[in-house]
Amino acid sequence: QDVINRIAAGEVIQRPANALKELIENSLDAKSSNIQITVKHGGLKLLQIQDNGVGIRKDDFEIVCERFTTSKLTEFEDLHKISTYGFRGEALASISHVAHLTIISKTKQDMCAYQASYVDSKLRDPPKPMSGNQGTTIIVEDLFYNMPIRKKALRSPAEEYQKISDVVSKYAVHNASIGFALKKHSESNDIRTRPKSNHVENIRTIYGNLIARELIEFSIDNSQFKFKAKGYMTNVNYSTKTFQFLLFINHRLVDCQVLKRSIDQVYETYLPKNSHPFVYMSLELDPANIDVNISPTKHEVHFLNEQQIVETITSTLETKLLGSNN
């Protein structure tokens, strides 16, 4: 049974960066305003995320790592996240099958923090009281220690760190009201944004002023296909080797190749050969229209009226781009 669980978990958690993505989502769900991430050896030795969110109650420690417990938990009754994300409460359970997982957490109500370790989704010992501030620290150690083949298939620690940094960068731009910090163990922060910041400031901090100073804002509110899209795109004075596309659909970081390709095509007409734009877009769709049957690791998303929505977005961006060019 453990072997089967482990294989299933390995499907959900494919590499350090997507384990971290799930952990960041959890911290955001917990209404944190500050999220600090520490990484050792590309996330394989250590992946730690500390937030100041609502915390986990002592009584819930027992079940947070069981699969599909999501909506049973006390602090989370009002969350609309299931309909928004279509994701099924298995991130912590999966991580506990393929790594050493420790959780430290304190809620507002509890007098002190509690710490507990998990093996194969079970508490190892009852939660131990300790001192600590409100919020949650999730410590993931020795990821894939029991999956040597998976571990071998990963890239170098430097490349895995790059993927982690990419995920943190994108979340930090999208969630500009929240302070993010990312550092390699014992080094100074690689990424640091301040709370109550804004998208442009964070793009400047993380992606540089060359991009930030060329940004054009866009905002679409379409009643026909019931969607909103807003964000920033670079104008034709800026180009980069690869298309940097930060896409959030209903606040979840996703890929949508159809949209990506069609935006890139717009720029192809105006940019020098082999150069590409930077686009950050927050797209909001009726959750009922998003294909929720995608597995949590397949970040590729499809939705109803995809072709029409993509065309509407693309033509708006093209108009903006031409306007800025004159």
User: What part of residues 260-299 is at the interface with ligand ADP (CB under 6 A)?
Assistant: none
Told to check if 238 binds ligand ADP by CB under 6 A, we report: no
User: What part of residues 112-171 is at the interface with Mg ion (CB under 5 A)?
Assistant: none
Among ligand ADP, Mg ion, none, what binds residue 167 when CB lies within 5 to 8 Å by partner kind?
none
User: CA-to-CA distance for 280 and 169, rounded, in angstroms?
Assistant: 11
Told to check if 26 binds Mg ion by CB under 5 A, we report: yes
Distinct helix (H) and strand (E) counts, the chain: 10, 14
User: CA-to-CA distance for 277 and 223, rounded, in angstroms?
Assistant: 28
- Least distance (Å) between residue 82 CB and ligand ADP: 8
What mask, x for binding ligand ADP by CB under 6 A, covers residues 77 to 106? Answer: ----------x-xxxxx-------------
Among Mg ion, ligand ADP, none, what binds residue 79 when CB lies within 5 to 8 Å by partner kind?
none
Instruction: Name the residue nearer to ligand ADP (CB basis): 64 or 285.
Output: 64
Query: Out of 9, 12, 39, 56, which residue is the one contacting ligand ADP (CB under 6 A)?
Result: 56
Q: What CA–CA distances, in Å, run from 142 to 41, 137, 209, 210?
A: 10, 16, 37, 38
Query: Which one, of 28, 9, 34, lies nearest residue 19 by Cα?
Result: 9
* Pairing of β 215-222 and β 122-123: unpaired
Q: What CA–CA distances, in Å, run from 170 to 166, 202, 280?
A: 6, 10, 9
β-partners of residue 220 are 229
Contact (CB, 8 A) for 298 and 290: no
What mask, x for binding Mg ion by CB under 5 A, covers residues 87 to 106? Answer: ----x---------------
- Least distance (Å) between residue 182 CB and ligand ADP: 16
- Residues of the shown chain interacting with ligand ADP in the complex, contacts defined by CB under 6 A: 22, 26-27, 30, 51, 53-56, 64, 70, 73, 76, 87, 89-93, 136
